[in-house]
Structure formats: C-alpha cells, structure tokens
Structure 1
Amino acid sequence: MESKYNLKSPAVKRLMKEAAELRGATEHYHAQPLEDNLFEWHFSVRGPPDSDFDGGIYHGRILLPPEYPMKPPSIILLTPNGRFEVGKKICLSISGHHPETWQPSWSIRTALIAIIGFMPTKGEGAIGSLDYTPEERRFLAKKSQEFCCETCSCSLSSALLPLDPNSDISLEHHMANELAHQINFKTESSSVGKRASEGEDASAEVSNLTLDGASNSSSFETVESSLTEQAEASAATKTKSPQSLLSPNNGRPHSPLRRRVVLYQRDNSEAPNIPRLIADVQEPQNDNHMGSAVLILVLTLALAALIFRRIYLAHDIKFQYEL
C-alpha cells in the first residue's frame, strides 16, 4: 500500500502512523484501513456497559478526506443498533457535519471512543440519529455479533478481544463518556459564541447603518426636529392659496427647505404659543446675478471691439487699394 501514496503527504504520514498504533485489537475498539484504500477505515466498537447497547459489537466505516487531519472524517455505521442510521453519515461534533468543531489533534482513536460515549445519548433529531426503544436496542445488541461485513470480511464475534473479568471496563467507558461530554460542551459553547458574535456583528452593522444615515441627513433632520418643536402657524397663512405658499412675493420659487417650512406652518396653524421659526430660515441669496451681468457686459464689449476692428481693417485695405 505504501507504494500507492505520496509518503511526504501529511495525511498519508498521519494515517500510516495511526494504522500502526491501532493495529492490535483491544477489548473495546479496533480500526484499520482497507488493504487498497488508506483513506477508508473499518472499525468495530463494543457497546457501553450499563446501557441499552451492553453486550453489542457494532461495525462501521470511517471516510477520511485528503486534508486529514485538518478536516474531520465522516462516520457511517453498518450494524443495526437503534441509535445511528445504517449506511448514512452520522452527525457528530467529531464528524464531517461539523468541521468548525473538529481539532487536528483528535485522531481516529478519539472518534472511536467518542462513538462509544455518544451511543447512550439522545438523538434529538440530528442527521443519522435514531431513537429506538430500549427493548429494540437490547435486541439489536444481542443480534449484532452475528453481523459480518462484506467489504472487509470482518466477523464481529471475533473482531475485539474478549472481555477480561478482572479488567476495569467501567474506567474505559467512563473515559468515553467524559470525552463525549467534553466534545458536546465545546460544540455548544462554540455555537453560543458564534451566535453571540453574529449578533454583535449584526448590531454593529445596524448601528453603522444608522449612524451613516444620520450623518448623511443631519442637516435635514436638525431643521425638521426644530420645526416639530418650535414651528408656528398663523391663521392668516392658512387662508393663502397653495401657489402663494410655494412662491414669495417677487415670484422667485422657494427652496425645497423653505417650502417644507411654509407647508408645515400651514398644517399646524392652530398650535398655540409656538415661536415663529420661518424668519430663522433664510432664503439662499443668488450671488451669481451680478457676476453674470458683468460677464455678459464684458463679452458684449469684446465682441463690439472685434467687429469694429474688422470694419476698420476692411476700410483701410479698401483705401489703400484705391490709392
């Protein structure tokens, strides 16, 4: 198998090392890659004691990505068990469904121990999870040792070492439960932190949008708020025609700002004891009229001078020709 893969690849080096470490079966788990595929492993785990899975041995597949250990594996159970769907990638915090919680320091051994710890937990609708009754799970646990994998020809009755009556089984499974609890806790904490971060980002974005909008229209809102608090309307203004409200006496149109002031005054003409603000809103002065008049005068004089010069030159040429 070594000749098929690039031995300098981090994934290949890591998987070769883990395969050597897990070569020998234990009482609780065993896993090895297929003979022709280093990135597909088959495993067997013993059901946790004092649970509905006590006495069962369960077989499954682990599919590893080329980026392993930077990306998590996918886990598929092949033995009917009543907790995980058969032939479907299950959703765990150590599986490919949750790459955000995977840690490169975890290994295939970590995944095996975590599976044992996760088995007694509730499915809660997760992908690939089942919630069979305790009676059904106990029945499947007894029947599980009859299972034989068609791919790796593994017989579960001999997949693991027999239990040693003197060994402390509860200690190993306590470690599995503790690991599953820690992984669940980290996943929940990460999700809460992520939601909080997203909430803060959303709040900051809304705040920025509000501030941007306020800065873009600060002058308009200042005048409008002043009008709301201070604008006065008189009954005489209400009797004027709409055209007189929108145009001053000299016929020049009001600016949009002054037009809004006048209309607001007309609509609130009954408001008592409100100081008059219209006098504070000054009409913009058109300082360009004088400059335009001067420019037109200068251009007119220049054009007249040019015309006079051309007439003079034409007359001078005619006079010289006659001579």
Structure 2
Amino acid sequence: MEARYNLKSPAVKRLMKEAAELRDPTDHYHAQPLEDNLFEWHFTVRGPPDSDFDGGVYHGRIVLPPEYPMKPPSIILLTANGRFEVGKKICLSISGHHPETWQPSWSIRTALLAIIGFMPTKGEGAIGSLDYTPEERRALAKKSQDYYCEACGVKMKAVLLPLSSASSSDDKEARELARQISFKAEVNPPGGSQAEANLPKQPQDQPEPASGTSEEDATISSGQETPQAVPSANASRSPRQRRAQQRRVPASPGLIQVQQHNVNGSNTGSAVLIVLLTLALAALIFRRIYLANDYIFDYEL
C-alpha cells in the first residue's frame, strides 16, 4: 500500500502512523484501513455498559478526506443499533457534518471513543440519528454479534478482545470525551467556529447609490450634507456641464421663501396699479360727460 501513496503527504503520514497505533484490537474498539484504500477505514466498537447497547458489537466505516487531519472524517454505521441510521453519514460534532468543531489534534481513536460515548445520548432529530425504544435497542445489541462484514471480512464475535479490568478506564474516557465534544458543539455559534466568534466584527459597507443616480443626488435624498466636490473631478468637466450641475442643486428653503415673497409683492403692486388706472379712467369719463352736459345747457339758453 505504501507504494501507491505519496509518503510526503501530511495525510498519508498521519494515517500510516494511526494505522500502526491501532493495529492491535482492544476490548472496546478496533479500526484499520482497507487493503486497497488508505482513506477508508472499517471499525468495530463495543456498546457502552449499563446502557441499552450493553453486549452489542457494532461495525462501521470511516471515510477520511484528502485534507485529513485538517478536515474531519465521515462516519457511517453498518450494524443496526437503534441509535444511528445504517448506511448514512451520522451527524456528530466530530464528523464531517460539523467541520467548524473539528480539531486536527483529534484522531480516529478519538472518533471511536466519541461514537461509544454518544450512543446512550438522545438523537434529538440530528441527521442519521434514531430514537428506538430500550427494548428494540437491547434486541439489536444481541443480534449485532452475528454481523459479518463482507468488505473487510470481520466477524463481530472475534474482532474485539474480552472485557478486562482496564475497560472501566476506557468507558470513563469515552463518556468524558462525548461530554466535552457535546459541550464544545453547544457553545460554538451556528455556522461558525469558536475562533470565528472571537474575531472582531468588520464594519459593514455603506450602501451604494441606486443605478441612474449620482452621488450628490443620493446624499441629498438621505438628508445628509452634500460633500464638497473633488477639484480633479470638476476640472475634467466643461463650463457647460458645471452650469448644468449647479442648476440641478435644489434651492434652499430661505431662497424659496424670498422668491415667493417677491412674487407676492409684485402681484400686489400690479393689482394696486390696475385699481388706480381704473379710477383715473372713470374720473376722466365722468369729467367729459359733465362738461358735455354744461355745453348743451348753455347752447339751449
């Protein structure tokens, strides 16, 4: 197998080291890569004691990405157990469903202990989780000992060592690891890691003005003062364009009031002039009629 892979690759070096460490099975777990694929492992774990899975021996697959250990593996159970779906990638804070909680210091052994520690916990609707009754899980635990994996040729009855006095320490480590991983998954914000949550927030970009409007129009519509024009921008405009730009600037409220006052004053003056002209004309007509009447009266006499 070594001739098929680049031994300088960090992932290959790490997996070769872990394969050597996990070569000998224990009374709680065992895992080894397939003969033709270093990035796919088959594992076997014993059900945690004092639980519905006590006495069960469960088999599954671990698929590792080329970026391992910088990215987490995917975990698939192959033995019916009543806690995780068979043949489906399960959702754990140590699996590929939660890369934000994965730590490169974790290993395949960490994943095996996490599976053991997570089995007695509630599924709570997570991807690949099941919430079978205790009776169903106990029945599946007994049935699991007869499972045989055709892909790797492992029999559940013979793969793990018999339980020993050292098993209690492994059980305690599995429970503690599951508690720590669950806690880390809860405190991390959704959609980001704890490190991302501690990063300072970046200021949001200011919204750009709508299409078809200038910066001056956008500033006036927002109620802010119009910034002074940049000399270089004005210098590039022709006198005609600058005059057109000045005409676009709306008049201030004080200027509008002065203009309205001037208009009102001119209207009032015009009305007074019309009245005076009308009175003068009326007086002239009256005078002419009066003089005409006097002339006719004198003529008759």
Whether these two folds match at TM > 0.5 is yes
| 1:205 CA drift (Å) | 2.8
1:278 aligns to what? 257
**Within 2, Cα distance between the matches of 1:201 and 1:54?**
48
Task: Say which of 146, 168, 171 aligns to 1:170.
Answer: 168
Letter in 1 for 2:46: R
User: Are residues 125 and 282 of structure 1, via their aligned partners in 2, closer, same or farther at CA, if it must alter by over 3 Å?
Assistant: farther
Task: Say which of 159, 182, 185 aligns to 1:184.
Answer: 182
Judge conservation of contact 1:75–1:89 (CA < 8 Å) in 2.
yes
Q: Deviations over 1:188-242 (max 9, x none)?
A: 22226949959x859x538x559xx9x953697369xxxxxxxxxxxxxxxxxxx
| 1:261 CA drift (Å) | 5.1
Letter in 2 for 1:20: A
Q: Secondary structure at the match of 1:98?
A: coil
| 1:10 CA drift (Å) | 1.2
Judge conservation of contact 2:189–2:197 (CA < 8 Å) in 1.
no
**Superposition map of 1:224-239 within 5 A:** none
Judge conservation of contact 1:30–1:43 (CA < 8 Å) in 2.
yes
Q: Secondary structure at the match of 2:24?
A: coil
Higher helix fraction (1 or 2): 1
2:99 aligns to what? 99
Q: Deviations over 1:158-194 (max 9, x none)?
A: 1100112xx0533321211111111121122222694
Judge conservation of contact 1:40–1:63 (CA < 8 Å) in 2.
yes
| 1:90 CA drift (Å) | 0.8
**Within 1, Cα distance between the matches of 2:87 and 2:38?**
20
In structure 1, stretches of 5+ residues that fail to align are 224-253, 263-275, 284-323
Letter in 2 for 1:104: P
**Within 2, Cα distance between the matches of 1:153 and 1:255?**
84
Judge conservation of contact 2:60–2:75 (CA < 8 Å) in 1.
yes
User: Are residues 3 and 189 of structure 1, via their aligned partners in 2, closer, same or farther at CA, if it must alter by over 3 Å?
Assistant: same
User: Are residues 217 and 173 of structure 1, via their aligned partners in 2, closer, same or farther at CA, if it must alter by over 3 Å?
Assistant: same
Letter in 1 for 2:257: I
| 1:279 CA drift (Å) | 4.6
| 1:68 CA drift (Å) | 1.1
2:145 matches 1:145: yes
1:42 aligns to what? 42
Letter in 2 for 1:278: Q
Q: Which has the higher contact order (CA 8 A, sep 6+)?
A: 2
Higher alpha-carbon deviation: 92-101 or 80-89 = 92-101
Q: Secondary structure at the match of 2:86?
A: coil
Letter in 2 for 1:38: L
Kindly tell me the number of residue pairs found equivalent between the two proteins: 232
Q: Secondary structure at the match of 1:61?
A: strand
Q: Secondary structure at the match of 1:58?
A: strand
| 1:23 CA drift (Å) | 0.6
User: Are residues 142 and 77 of structure 1, via their aligned partners in 2, closer, same or farther at CA, if it must alter by over 3 Å?
Assistant: same
**Within 2, Cα distance between the matches of 1:79 and 1:85?**
9
Q: RMSD of the TM alignment (CA)?
A: 3.5
Q: Secondary structure at the match of 1:92?
A: coil
Letter in 1 for 2:109: R
Q: Secondary structure at the match of 1:278?
A: helix
| 1:278 CA drift (Å) | 3.0
1:128 aligns to what? 128
| 1:101 CA drift (Å) | 1.4
| 1:42 CA drift (Å) | 0.5
Q: Highest Rg: 1 or 2?
A: 2
**Within 1, Cα distance between the matches of 2:104 and 2:48?**
26
Task: Say which of 196, 216, 219 aligns to 1:217.
Answer: 219
2:161 aligns to what? 161
Judge conservation of contact 1:49–1:170 (CA < 8 Å) in 2.
no
1:294 aligns to what? none
Letter in 2 for 1:205: Q
2:204 aligns to what? 205
2:268 aligns to what? none
1:302 aligns to what? none
